[in-house]
Amino acid sequence: MTLPALPEESFQRVLCVVAHPDDMEYGASAAVARWTARGIEVAYLLLTRGEAGMPNPPEETARLRAAEQRAACAAVGVEQLTILEHPDGVLVYGLDLRRDICREIRRFKPDVVIGGGYEIETPFGFDQADHRAAGLATLDAIRDAGNRWVFPEQIDDEKLEPHSVRWLLMAGLPGSGATHGVDVTGEPLRRGVASLEAHAAYLAALPGHPAPKDFIPMFTAMSGKAMGVEHAVLFRAHDLQAPPELFTEATQD
């Protein structure tokens, strides 16, 4: 059975929350390119500046990676980029992180939040600690954002409003829990590859890193088979406003 397409008609604003510069560019940015071309507004929230990711001095690295991220955003039509200054490499799950993500959700008011996974083991090995902290904090911040009694200073002092997100998306793989796909065949894939190529200095500092034009199409082709198209990006999609499956099953019995 092929995976269904993500119901793009149900959203107009997408907030992508990741730990580092380049995290969105390993496939997901191709879906972003498709959405922005269709008039969907997409914003990126980076929780760190990625300053621990290269051998250069941290401040130099942070400036370089921010510039590369801006170029990557331009490649896929993202105009809103927010980069926070939580420490790279030692990102801490906790109230400070949740508060900052919650603030951006209340400010941008997305229908969809793309967050990272929070599992320790992945099909590619043990996940990096920052990714896990970011994924769990994002999950909790989505719930925080809809509750006016959580971080109430944002409402009382910053004049933001509670906001309820409809969809949570997390990257998926064929056979590993993906529920929906986005067809990125053609121009979205080309722009997605260009967005990772924009991180040229960072990639050059990674020994043996394959060229984006070689491996991104390979992975999207694998995902495309699960969707019945040439190239796709897959997600685990959670409709946060749908009744829990347990309740749905109980009413059907």
Contact 135, 93 (CB under 8 A): no
So what's the pLDDT on residue 249? 52
| 77-91 tens-digit pLDDT | 999 999 999 999 999
| pLDDT tier at 250, thresholds 50, 70, 90 | very low
User: Average per-residue pLDDT in the chain?
Assistant: 94
User: Quick one: pLDDT band at residue 172, thresholds 50, 70, 90?
Assistant: confident
Residue by residue, DSSP assigns 96-138 as HHHHHHHHHHHHH--SEEE-----SEETTEEPPHHHHHHHHHH
Determine contact, residues 6/35, Cβ cutoff 8 Å. no
Q: How confident is the model at residue 70 (pLDDT cuts 50, 70, 90)?
A: very high
- Confidence tier at 246 by pLDDT (50, 70, 90): low
pTM of the model: 0.94
The 3-state DSSP class for residue 180 equals strand
46-50, 153-157, 177-181, 190-194: the lowest-pLDDT one: 177-181
Which string of b and e fits 68-101 if b means at least 16 CB within 10 Å? bbbebbebbbbeebbbbebebeebebeeebbbbb
